[in-house]
Amino acid sequence: MLLFKDYLWIMLRETGYAHIQATKPDTVGHGLTDSPAGLAAYILEKFGTRASLHFSDSLDDCLMEKFELDDLLNDVMVYWISGSITSSMRLYKEAFGNFYEMTKYDQLPNSVPLGYASFPLELLSTPENWLSYKYKNVLSYTEMPEGGHFAALEQPKLLAEDLRQFTRKVEEFLEKED
């Protein structure tokens, strides 16, 4: 269990990218679009630090322990060939820029069935009781035993099984609605 001061330090250390992407996506994006080595370093660092909060000083070990090299290179190549790293960062700017306007929508209830997989190495995770304030039909909340931000690559079997059980619950929910 992390102490609050440890969690705060991790948040300060590991979320600088979000601030840069939310405020200056074009500046960093153009630099990454111009340099394949810079793009690879930027993306691979994110994979390393999101796979384990304790591996941030030895990213090479973490990357090879958690991911296949081909999967990592495929991810980098998608951004490189399509030249889409800058546009992918704009999501942060759009969300950050509209933060105060978006909060008024948080008050609206949502009855769409929801499933949530909480991976322990994700930087931000929503507690189950918080979800129920906005989402009226939380059908599944799974606390995963391992995994982080890139769970589909890190823990594909865990994620797939969770999606299957959620799909079964949605089908049961919809049958009751009819």
Spatial contact of 87 and 25, defined as CB atoms under 8 Å apart: no
Is residue 21 domain-shared with residue 45, that is, in the same domain? yes
Position 55 confidence tier, pLDDT thresholds 50, 70, 90: low
> What's residue 3's pLDDT?
80
> What's residue 168's pLDDT?
98
Spatial contact of 26 and 41, defined as CB atoms under 8 Å apart: no
State the total domains in the chain: 2
Is residue 126 domain-shared with residue 56, that is, in the same domain? no
Q: Is the pLDDT of residue 175 over 90?
A: yes
Is residue 9 domain-shared with residue 95, that is, in the same domain? yes
Last residue of a domain, one of 84, 101, 118: 101
Last residue of a domain, one of 46, 66, 101: 101
Helical segments of the chain, H only: 4-14, 16-23, 25-34, 36-51, 59-66, 69-82, 85-97, 99-103, 128-134, 151-154, 156-177
Is residue 49 domain-shared with residue 74, that is, in the same domain? yes
Domain range for residue 169?
109-177
β-pairing, 114-118 vs 138-143, is parallel
Is residue 22 domain-shared with residue 56, that is, in the same domain? yes
Is residue 69 domain-shared with residue 120, that is, in the same domain? no
Last residue of a domain, one of 76, 101, 126: 101
> What's residue 161's pLDDT?
98
Q: Is the pLDDT of residue 24 over 80?
A: yes
Is residue 96 domain-shared with residue 115, that is, in the same domain? no
80, 84, 88, 89: CA torsion to nearest 10: 80
> What's residue 108's pLDDT?
79
> What's residue 133's pLDDT?
83
> What's residue 54's pLDDT?
57
**Tens digit of pLDDT for each residue in 69-119?**
899 999 999 999 999 999 999 888 888 776 666 666 677 788 999 999 999
Is residue 30 domain-shared with residue 94, that is, in the same domain? yes
Two tokens at 135? 């989402």
Is residue 116 domain-shared with residue 155, that is, in the same domain? yes
> What's residue 87's pLDDT?
93
Is residue 93 domain-shared with residue 113, that is, in the same domain? no
Is residue 114 domain-shared with residue 96, that is, in the same domain? no
In degrees, to the nearest 5, what angle opens at C-alpha 65 toward C-alphas 80 and 159?
80
**Tens digit of pLDDT for each residue in 113-155?**
999 999 988 888 889 998 988 899 999 999 999 988 889 998 9
**What share of the chain in percent tops pLDDT 90?**
45
Report the pLDDT averaged over residues 36-64.
76
CA distance 120 to 125: 8
Is residue 50 domain-shared with residue 8, that is, in the same domain? yes
Question: Cα–Cα distances in Å, from 79 out to 42, 60, 116, 149, 169?
Answer: 11, 21, 28, 18, 35
